[in-house]
Amino acid sequence: MFRPAGLFKSNQCPDQRCNRNPCLFSHDPVQNLAVPVQASLVSSDSGGSTSLRKPIRSTIPSNAVAKALTAPAANNNTSGPSNPPVPTVQPLASTSTTRPTPSSSSAARAQTGRASANPQQPTLTKRPVETPSHTASPSPPAKVPKIAPGPVRRAAPPSVTSLSPTGAPILNINAANTNVPLKERQRMATVIYETFKTLYSDIPPGPRTATLAGEHAIAQEAEVYARSQRTTYKNVSILHPPSAYKSMTSVQNGAHAIGVIKKRPKPDRLNHPSVGTNGAIDARKAEAEAAKNSTLKRSQLQSALLSREQLTQWGYLVQVPEGPGGTRVSDEGRQATCERCQALFVVRAPQSEEERHSFERCAYHWGKPYVNRSGGIREMIHRCCGSPTGSAGCVVGAHVFKDPEDFGLLHARHPYSESSAFGNESPRSAILDVAALDCEMIYTTAGMSIARVSVIDGAGKCVYDKLIKLDPGVEVLDYNTRFSGIRSLEEAQLDLDGVRREMRKFIGPETILIGHALENDMRALRMVHLNVVDTAILFPHQSGPPYRRALKDLARQHLGILIQNNVGENLGHSSLEDAVATLDLVKFWVRERRRIPSPR
């Protein structure tokens, strides 16, 4: 046993009949109670709250206190002997102190003031001590919590970075947890930040762009650190030639991050393919390549199919017009309004190249007008030459016309047929579940006529790509090469009826057809089909119907590719290229459909 320290020997034993030997408390008679009251004394106000009081010196004589101690308790009704009340004095060495509250502190100050004004009134708080029963053991003193109850404040974990919209991000990394000196990593993060800041300078300002460069700088630095060693970390600032990339190791690949960022095309929007770290862009490219090699299935497109009401709303024909059709194949000799210059002219095809040049020519702008904002002035100008609307045309060509969206007139040009007539001549196993198609049109004496059709399956494989001969009695007015890419139809072997007979081998009524503004292709093919996915509707315009986004813009935004951008010998669009783009857009939608609103 250890030797007792005697810490309680200075305290009077609370048990008046204590027979313990030895006892932890003192049994010496009280000789002088004129003790200074310390700050640890606890007083009780009328509300039962406790408070601390300043140490004061008692002015009550010793004999008065002694008489007070020997006086019987006023309210003691027990049958046992009366026990004198003893002062509740908490010793100075006690560790169980009570934290003052605002109300108890003010009560303590008021009590101290009264004690000073009336020195005859004792300032010691007394409580009666009940005589313990012979059968009951004395209860231990109540425990006072060392910490006042209340909500516990927890320290927040340190942040990894500190982003500021006006400067480079600050790395908050424990120096003991990094193999590269923190100063060196911070310097590298600043250089990467400046590189991203320059790259993103053309993105319109907004809440998201304020910290975009800083976020990507932190992520890019982390990528470089994860792929580098201490000796190769500094190489991140070196711009290696592209020919050296393939021969680099994985560690060296992380060393050309800044050079790769500098070589990217500058983005003009947040969802541009150039936005992101090198790792994020590589992951997107790998995902897109994997998706490109995947095959679309019917089950993936059920929510994208247009309803019958939507088909009607967007200009699709849902029922074959009445009558045999084919009664007005050509409008040669009739008067029409030129679609390009709005002038009246007589529809007549030139018989020779010399006659073609001797015809009345049409001066027009091939570029659509758009709103240009410059110096606070809004002006409609043409994309082709930048001239304002109403100015003289910048190119010269033939007068052409386009039939109105009148299904009866189109049926008179060439008869419509339902897709149920397709696929009846082939086994069911040969019919495609999903197909994407696109057509190219030229100007003729029958208005706009189909000249090429391209079809690919759900995996992106070309299954059909043919030029189409014009119907008898129809002549070419303009090949519209700038947009159709067609310069001649000499290689065409089948007319529209022959092409549709061949398409019966792989397209049936249950085939899901994919296209962009596909109602135009359905008109050109004179086909009625109800299982349709239209990317012009799948990716809606922000202004809503009837506005639709161009396929070129959608491919650039979501696929990061440029289509319909051919010049020189390859001038014009390609129906095969457009069909592939629409299929890839639908594959993109399947992957990202949770973030893109459904057409329904």
Q: What does the domain layout of the chain look like in residue ranges?
A: 1-127, 161-292, 300-324+405-592, 335-397
The C-alpha torsion from 358 through 470 and 507 to 301, rounded to 10°, is: 20
pLDDT, tens digit only, all 600 positions of the chain:
566 667 788 888 888 788 887 888 888 876 555 545 454 444 444 444 444 444 445 444 545 444 444 444 444 444 444 454 544 444 444 444 444 444 444 444 444 444 444 444 444 444 454 444 444 455 555 555 455 455 544 444 444 455 656 688 998 888 888 888 888 899 889 999 999 999 999 999 888 888 899 999 999 999 888 887 777 776 654 544 444 444 444 334 444 788 889 989 898 888 788 899 998 988 888 887 787 788 999 999 999 999 999 999 999 999 999 988 999 999 999 999 999 999 999 999 887 777 766 666 899 999 989 898 887 888 999 989 999 998 999 999 899 999 988 999 999 999 999 887 655 556 667 899 999 999 999 999 999 999 999 999 999 999 999 999 999 999 999 999 999 999 999 999 999 999 999 998 999 999 999 999 999 999 999 999 999 999 999 999 989 888 999 999 999 888 888 888 765 555 668 999 999 999 999 999 998 875 555 554
| AA identity, residue 579 | A
Rounded to two decimals, the pTM is: 0.60
R_g over Cα of the chain: 46
Instruction: Provide CB contacts within 8 A for 583, sequence distance 6+.
Output: 296, 436, 456, 458, 460, 514
C-alpha count within 13 angstroms, C-beta hemisphere, residue 566:
17
Phi, psi of 313 (to 5 degrees): -60, -40
pLDDT per residue over 422-451, tens digit each? Answer: 555 566 678 999 999 999 999 999 999 999
Phi, psi of 302 (to 5 degrees): -60, -40
Please check whether the domain covering 300-324+405-592 is classified as CATH 3.30.420.10: yes
Three-state secondary structure call for residue 495: strand
Three-state secondary structure call for residue 254: helix
Report the distance separating Cα 539 and Cα 18, nearest Å.
92
CA distances from 371 to 33, 34, 377 (A): 98, 97, 10
